[in-house]
Chains A and B, each alone.
Chain A
């Protein structure tokens, strides 16, 4: 019998394997890395509309709240389970859904309430704390601080965006693909000569040149572009997300275990139909690029989690969009995910069910799911997760996100 990761996992589950013995947490062939699974965290900046991405068309109140948006299967969304339907722009991911490699959690949020500011909402999502100013740095870095054998390459923040969730004392790598050093070979040598006597600069330069070479071998167009346009921009507008996904996959094929990056453009106050279509399209392409870039073997032990700072108002506004809300949705993908399901307790859309009579009521803390992912993927201890990574969090019952 040909053993695939999935069949192996299923078999382990059947045998009642303990977590410690699960192949998901036992490093087999990668001596250098502390664990062998892969985690990709994507921050969807701007507030993704959960009710349009994963449309609860089975809720009788939805149609009255959304005049032009979230039309369900009648408007071309793909039925998922008789209650939820998938936005057409996510249709490229349907094969993953059918393979059990795509899932969602509805009605989740951070503890952030009421002010509905992107700035604070994202900060809190990335800090992983109950309130702003609770702890310095980000939750993913604090997770790394709990783990043995972490090196700079273990976790990678990718893109120009500052990834607060990886800020902190544990070493991490950061790079924006396509933002490399386009210098002539002569200038490269001379820069090396200039910095040779200063170890801090010399080490960073060599690393930057090395990462640039990797960029070039990935075929990044901008890295090869010596013009001044490469001065501060990464990939050309509109392609940055696939460049980043390809770059993440490349790193994750090596020693990297965690990659984090952002996809922007979710703040759809106005003409959401086109704005959200574009953003979800980028998300679809990103997931598919990760899958193709990782290859079947590594994709099989990968979990992708896409989270956003908050959801949006349940009612459509006067400009074909939605405003800042509270409860949102989280996307899960990857071969390590037990997908094909929309998880999360659905709070309902009747007026009395809403948060503040306007937003989807969060029925779970998104940090619980993230904590369970870290527990299941890397074997992080629950006590560490609840005390240090997400201070004060109660992880509650295992939602069973992973195989």
Chain B
């Protein structure tokens, strides 16, 4: 296999940049991934616990406003809540900007791609006004530190995150025979949501070797996983179903309910061969093609299995396989990746982001993702965003990409780059004759830049 730096940046990174030289080898890519997380320091995003505390304050102010309804002091409470809510949303937009800036400036772009990939694999969303800003802090604290570690550690971090417990209703799930359920008649009882998704989406995969009984047993084992506003994650033995549970033939617990029993089950699921197969398939699809080469998938699965789910080893297996370097660009960038790689190609100055007011940043860089088909941080379900190229290249979504590409660059980079230079900066050797012709023949500079950014060569990776 011949390592190809341009292709590495495009396929495994955030696209080409006029500022950052492509990595020289797969070892360099993996080395940076093991090294310090430079971008997290340079463009910080709130840690989960801090953002979770914000959500608490949000609720407190909202309660206060409600309490004063129709009374004196209501207007002040209303004002305080509205101001907080504005700041709340502004924070979310700011974090979005920070994450884009990481894509513009990083020399460790594979890490950014992996954070996006795994945060999507473990999709979790806030379902109310207080929590809906938490997706970026969740990716920051729950996912990011684990992307080059062991899969089981990431699985445990995600499955015990307050955001996941809220998103998939684990919070309220109590064993039917638990003390809590006996004390409180109106408790909703067992909720299978998280247990099902852990098996179906996070570990074994929908075709995995599990049945409804396993879902039920895992749901009973999960009872007790909750979150509190003050402490974050809490294991409450009082909500846990008494007795042992059997998942995939393995028995857990039996005595006093303990968190360790849950974690043991998660570790076993993480090491299961079906999980290796499922994750290998997902990685191969995400980084190479909707129909990945079976040889690549089995190569990744074997390495996962041999290394006990050491993700760094799995990435090494990916980067050493010839199928990963197939020279045609195939996968279509999803909208976030598209916009991020355009910002990188344009080398949008950091100061440009800090000049933008939250509302402007939203209009320019966040809201446009919605008509492109990706309402950012709010995918339709726990299965995250689709991988199929077809789902991004609809007339409606493609029109949104074109509109953005024609209008946004001149607001992001002034002056716009010379289109002929930009074609090479954005596409390297993938700037084919058609792209070069369009760059020359366009009537205006912004149309030329827009056309380069909408060429299939730029939209695929």
| A interface residues, Cβ below 8 angstroms from B | 117, 119-120, 133, 136, 160, 162, 164, 167, 173-176, 179-184, 186-187, 190-191, 193-198, 200-201, 204-205, 207-208, 211-212, 227-228, 230-232, 317-319
Contacts and interface: CB of A to CB of B under 8 A. Distances in A.
A190 B441 contact: yes
A120 B127 contact: yes
30 contacts: A119-B128, A133-B196, A136-B381, A160-B370, A160-B371, A179-B400, A181-B403, A183-B402, A183-B447, A184-B443, A186-B441, A186-B443, A187-B450, A191-B454, A193-B434, A195-B456, A197-B434, A197-B456, A198-B456, A201-B459, A204-B394, A204-B398, A205-B402, A208-B399, A208-B402, A211-B395, A231-B363, A232-B370, A232-B404, A318-B69
A183 B398 contact: no
The 5 A-B pairs with the shortest beta carbon distances in the complex, nearest first, are A318-B70, A207-B395, A198-B456, A228-B407, A208-B395
The residue among A180, A187, A230 with the most chain B CB atoms within 10 A of its own CB is A187
Contacts of B69: 317-319
B451 interface: yes
B444 to A, nearest CB: 8
B368 A200 contact: no
A194 B454 contact: yes
Contact of A201 (B127, B437, B444, B456): B456
Chain B residues touching A, majority SS: helix
Contacts of B403: 179, 181-182, 230-232
A205 B459 CA distance: 13
A39 B441 CA distance: 46
Given A181-B402, A194-B455, A133 B193 contact: yes
Nearest to B132: A119
A194 B434 contact: yes
Given A211-B399, A231-B408, A232-B370, 5 more contacts: A120-B127, A187-B450, A187-B451, A231-B407, A318-B69
Contact of A176 (B371, B437, B444): B371
Nearest to B451: A190
Contact of A208 (B380, B398, B408, B456): B398
Interface in B131-190: none
B390 interface: yes
B438 interface: yes
Given A174-B396, A200-B393, A191 B402 contact: yes
B42 to A, nearest CB: 29
A231 B404 contact: yes
A149 B152 CA distance: 47
A236 B406 CA distance: 20
A162 B386 CA distance: 15
B404 A119 contact: no
A273 B31 CA distance: 63
Nearest to A206: B395
B76 interface: no
B411 interface: yes
A232 B454 contact: no
A208 B411 contact: no
Contact of A181 (B128, B381, B399): B399
A319 B375 CA distance: 32
Interface of B: 69-70, 127-128, 193, 196, 332, 363, 367-368, 370-371, 375, 380-381, 389-390, 393-400, 402-404, 406-408, 411, 434-435, 437-438, 441-444, 447, 450-451, 454-456, 459
A16 B397 CA distance: 48
Contacts of A160: 370-371
Nearest to A114: B188
Contacts of A186: 441-443, 447
Given A120-B127, A179-B403, A212-B399, A232 B371 contact: yes
A186 B127 CA distance: 45
Nearest to B65: A319
A136 B128 CA distance: 22
Interface centre among B70, B389, B451 (most CB of A within 10 A): B451
Contacts of A195: 455-456
Nearest to A174: B396
Contacts of A180: 399
A190 B438 CA distance: 6
A248 to B, nearest CB: 15
Contacts of A230: 403, 407
Contacts of B70: 318-319
A48 B175 CA distance: 37
B372 to A, nearest CB: 9
A197 B328 CA distance: 13
A205 B397 CA distance: 10
A117 B380 contact: no
A200 B393 CA distance: 7
Residue of B375, B381, B397 most packed against chain A (CB within 10 A): B381
Contacts of A197: 434, 456
Contact of B438 (A193, A204, A232, A318): A193
Nearest to B404: A231
Contacts of A228: 407-408, 411
A201 B395 CA distance: 9
A205 B396 CA distance: 9
A184 B363 contact: no
Contacts of B441: 186, 190
Nearest to A205: B398
A344 B128 CA distance: 32
Contacts of A204: 393-395, 397-398
A131 to B, nearest CB: 10
B363 A232 contact: yes
Contacts of B396: 174-176, 179, 208
Nearest to B407: A228
Contacts of A182: 403
A282 to B, nearest CB: 21
Contacts of A164: 380
Contacts of B407: 227-228, 230-231
Contact of A187 (B411, B435, B447): B447
Q: Among the interface residues B193, B396, B438, B442, which one has the most CB atoms of the partner chain A within 10 A?
A: B396
B447 A184 contact: yes
A194 B380 contact: no
B128 to A, nearest CB: 7
